[in-house]
């Protein structure tokens, strides 16, 4: 009986039509997928994880949601820690479908080839993507180019104004190098959602959130999104204490009581940090100056009322 279910399940996974139908009913699919894997004694699949290979950046976008433009100095993910963290996730999950290496600016990390290689070694079936602002694409080393090619990783360029005049050259170079890449549509609009008062309705904020399935890995922890981890840079810049109220928003992946099914469930639920997220407010993308202001990030801190450092 079990082998019959297993063979049917494999057929379903190979059929594009069935996968399409399942995609429409994604939540039911996820439920069925998890249930079947549980019955078969298999580990679940995690659909997405992202991490900052470098938290800092070489482009100062006003209101960066990762606070990368106000990071203090250079902050890299330690490669050995990354290997350990991904190995632990491999113990919890049969596969991670999408692994996104970003930042900050990932190309600032000289060990990016190793990060790509380790991601592929530990999760052979994952889709691996590196999201970059493209400023360093012309200077990619042979080692990095080979890492993309050998590990079937995608280079995703976010197209900002400073790249508009160069993008055709970059495309030519990447095409000649054989790297699989894509260039996004011009990123001319940014949003801010941060409600510094922390009085948003948690459920409503989570329901409307565009980042709620962007599980974020950082130094032995995983969280629903990057906000609870990276808001420390906002606190440091503006003398605030938001991160202090968010302990427990990041899950220790080494907790012995954890299994992949439990962890998946936790990553799909609102966290207390959601009280700091409001309806998005959109604004024209611009490069920041050397004086970031709290209202660059916060919807409630209107110009003139927010504290600046
Ligand atoms: C934080 S960036 C990191 C990777 C790389 N530095 C880049 O910009 O592509 C990842 C994505 O977040 C988006 N992003 C950052 N801040 C944003 C904001 N305030 N509003 C909308 N998108 C934002 C960027 O456009 C980019 O596609
Ligand atoms: S390039 Fe990316 S990480 Fe850097 S400041 Fe802009 S959005 Fe943030
Ligand atoms: S804290 Fe909650 S609402 Fe805010 S970005 Fe993260 S998941 Fe979305």
Residue 237 domain-assigned?
yes
Q: Is 242 in the pocket of ligand 3 (CB under 6 A)?
A: no
Residue 27 pLDDT > 70: no
Model confidence at 146: pLDDT above 90? yes
Q: To the nearest whole percent, how much of the chain has pLDDT over 70?
A: 88
- Look-up: residue for tokens 């609102």? 270
Ligand 2 within 6 A of CB of 230 = no
Q: Work out the burial of residue 104: count CB atoms within 10 Å of its CB; fewer than 13 is exposed, 13-18 middle, 19 or more buried.
A: buried
Whether residue 56 is found in the same domain as residue 5: no
Cα of 13 from ligand 2 centre, angstroms: 36
150 and 24 in one domain?
A: no
Nearest ligand to the C-alpha of residue 285? 1
Q: Is 292 inside any structural domain?
A: no
pLDDT tens digits, residue range 71-107?
Answer: 999 999 999 999 999 999 999 999 999 999 999 999 9
Do 122 and 252 fall within a single domain? yes
Total structural domains within the chain: 2
Q: Please state, in angstroms and rounded to a whole number, the distance separating the CA atoms of residues 305 and 292.
A: 14
The pLDDT score that the predictor gives to residue 304 is 42
**Same domain for 183 and 236?**
yes
DSSP H/E element including 131: strand 127-132
Assess if residue 275 is contained within a domain: no
Domain that holds residue 35: 1-42
More confident residue, 300 or 74: 74
What is the number of the ligand 2 atom nearest to the C-alpha of 57?
A: 4
Q: What is the pTM of this model?
A: 0.90
- Could you tell me if 26 and 74 lie in one domain? no
């Amino acid at each position: 009986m079990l082998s019959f279910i297993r063979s049917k399940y494999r057929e379903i996974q190979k059929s594009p039509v069935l996968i399409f139908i399942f995609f429409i009913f994604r939540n039911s699919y996820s439920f069925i997928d998890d249930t079947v894997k549980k019955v078969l004694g298999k580990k679940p699949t995690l659909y997405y994880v992202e991490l900052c290979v470098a938290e800092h950046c070489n482009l100062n976008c006003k209101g960066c949601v990762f606070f990368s433009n106000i990071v203090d100095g250079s902050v890299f993910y330690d490669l050995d820690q990354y290997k350990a963290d991904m190995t632990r996730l491999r113990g919890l999950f049969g596969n991670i479908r999408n692994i996104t290496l970003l930042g900050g600016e990932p190309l600032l990390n000289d060990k990016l080839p190793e990060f790509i290689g380790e991601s592929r070694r530990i999760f052979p079936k994952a889709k691996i993507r590196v999201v970059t602002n493209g400023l360093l694409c012309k200077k990619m080393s042979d080692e990095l180019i080979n890492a993309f090619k050998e590990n079937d990783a995608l280079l995703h360029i976010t197209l900002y104004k400073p790249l508009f005049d160069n993008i055709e050259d970059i495309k030519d170079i990447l095409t000649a190098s054989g790297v699989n890449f894509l260039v996004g549509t011009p990123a001319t609009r940014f949003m801010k959602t941060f409600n510094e008062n922390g009085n948003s309705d948690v459920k409503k904020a989570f329901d409307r959130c565009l980042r709620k399935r962007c599980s974020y890995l950082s130094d032995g922890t995983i969280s629903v999104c990057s906000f609870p981890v990276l808001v420390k840079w906002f606190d440091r810049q503006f003398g605030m204490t938001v991160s202090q109220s968010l302990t427990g928003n990041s899950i220790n992946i080494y907790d012995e009581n954890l299994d992949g099914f439990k962890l998946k469930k936790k990553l799909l639920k609102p966290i207390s940090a959601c009280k700091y997220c409001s309806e998005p407010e959109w604004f024209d993308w611009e490069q920041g100056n050397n004086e970031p202001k709290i209202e660059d990030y916060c919807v409630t801190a209107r110009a003139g009322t927010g504290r600046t450092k």
